[in-house]
Amino acid sequence: MTTLSTRPYKGTRDYYPEEKRLQNYIFSVWAQAARQFGYEEYGAPLLEPLDIYTAKSGQELASEQTYVFDDRGGRTVAVRPEMTPSVSRMVAARRQELAMPARLYSIANFMRYERPQRGREREFWQMNVDLFGVSSIEADAEIIELAYTSMKLFGAKDDMFTIRVNDRELINAIMFRYLGCDAVQAELMIKLLDRKHKISTEAFRDQAVDIFGPEQAKEGLPRLASLLGVYKVTELPLEIQQHPAAERLQQLMDKLAQAGVRNVLFDASLMRGLDYYTGTVFEVFDTHPDNNRALFGGGRYDGLVSLFGVEPLPTVGMGLGATTMQNFLEVHKLVPQDISTTDVYLVVIGESALRGAKRLARELRAEGVRVEVDITGRKLDKQLRSALKKHIPYLVFVGEAELQSGHYKIKNTATAQEQVADIARMVSIVLDRRSRRDELDDIIASLT
């Protein structure tokens, strides 16, 4: 008989309770941020027709990274590698019914066939946030402010991350007018800039020379180098500053500064590889030396909804990855204390007390207390070790004497403080603690 492997499929993860608690924490903060701005949650299928990705997402994503198969009806379908085409399809389907602007978010899992590495997995979880129906820069500013707010709700300080912005129209102007590229060179240069932070300076320079050609590189390479050292729109060459897209970017940065978002930089190398972006693009970068990388990003994509046979609809959106967010929290020591979602562990003293312990648990649950009962009949020390391993906040000891008196010893596992309480008092202790914890989370969120 063949022994099956205990390892998950390559590039995917198992989430044991402590890991799932952290993931749920990330999800809850994301949802809190989205709801603060009036976004409503939606859901979409895990499978989609392949053609909604080949139409606009880019050849690499659709052809090389997507899990594709023919279903039993002979239809070619894909496991979703991203959410943007799906939500665009949904909006197009109810184009006349949806109230505009439509503010939508989802938290879901996706699959991409790519090389697993730190912060990048084949199965990944992501929050997608999209604003449909606003063509002005106000929509771009709102999405970026929401991104900033989500970081602050995790406890991040401004110096822990930067928000880098660019514009696809400005990128095209730089490629054709300033660097003198033709269409083929521009496409190759955009791809090179998109991976600039993943290769060495020497490799970047050599590949740029290959794209320009020896003669054109004499002028093009210094121009390209001068752009890569600019972090303010006002420092760009005058001919680039005067482009409408540059003026739009400056307006965006001004609006963000007015909203208190001041860690925003212009980045000429920021491309965002997906083909459907039409205007503003942005990414949030971790500044920690051990995790100096993009965390998430997004931008404006005004043409995608029209692929589904309806009028074009201006749209701005972003996707936030759970794995990169977890890495950020870990390197900045922002991971919350690992506390079980269970409130009370009933330690049963003697087999005869089990029936009464179950009855007590039902009474506590009826009052909103989350209770685990030890039904194993194990010795006391093993029960205690199990409860402590699970990080359950309270232990309640239940024996025949306690059942008869109606008073129980309740122990706080964090402080080791003990007291004797009846059911009503126990409920008050547990729910007060939960309320204080929620209140503390709210205070921390307001301060950050």
The 418-421 sheet, strands edge to edge: 371-373, 344-348, 394-398, 408-412, 418-421
User: What is the tally of helices (H) and strands (E) in the chain?
Assistant: 16, 16
Mean pLDDT, the chain, as a whole number?
91
Give buried/exposed letters for 298-329 (b at 16+ CB in 10 A, else e): bbbbbbbbebbeeeebbbbbbbbbbbbbbbbb
Q: What is the pLDDT of residue 440?
A: 47
Domain map (residue ranges) of the chain? 11-134, 136-301, 344-447
Strand ranges for 112-235 from DSSP E: 123-132, 161-167
pTM for this one?
0.86
Q: What is the pLDDT of residue 69?
A: 92
Q: What is the pLDDT of residue 448?
A: 41
CB 348 within 8 A of CB 354: yes
pLDDT tens digit sequence for 190-218: 889 888 888 898 999 999 999 999 889 99
Q: What is the pLDDT of residue 60?
A: 63
CB 192 within 8 A of CB 211: yes
Q: What is the pLDDT of residue 58?
A: 58
Q: What is the dihedral of CA 417, 418, 419, 425, to 10 degrees?
A: 80
Q: What is the pLDDT of residue 114?
A: 85
Burial environment of residue 131 by CB neighbours within 10 A (0 to 12, 13 to 18, 19 or more) = buried
Question: Between 3.50.50.60, 3.30.930.10, 3.40.120.10, 3.40.50.2000, what CATH number should domain 136-301 receive?
Answer: 3.30.930.10
Q: Residue 209 is encoded by which pair of tokens?
A: 């020379």
Fold (CATH) for 11-134: BirA Bifunctional Protein; domain 2 (3.30.930)
Residue numbers in the chain where pLDDT is lower than 70? 56-62, 273-274, 437-448
Per DSSP bridges, beta strands 408-412 and 40-41 are unpaired
| The domains spanning 11-134 and 344-447 adopt the same CATH topology | no
Q: Residue 229 is encoded by which pair of tokens?
A: 């050292």
pLDDT tens digit sequence for 6-54: 999 999 999 998 899 999 999 999 999 999 999 999 999 999 999 888 8
Phi, psi of 165 (to 5 degrees): -130, 155
For 344-447, give the CATH class. alpha beta
Angle separating helix axes 322-331 and 17-36, nearest 10 degrees: 100
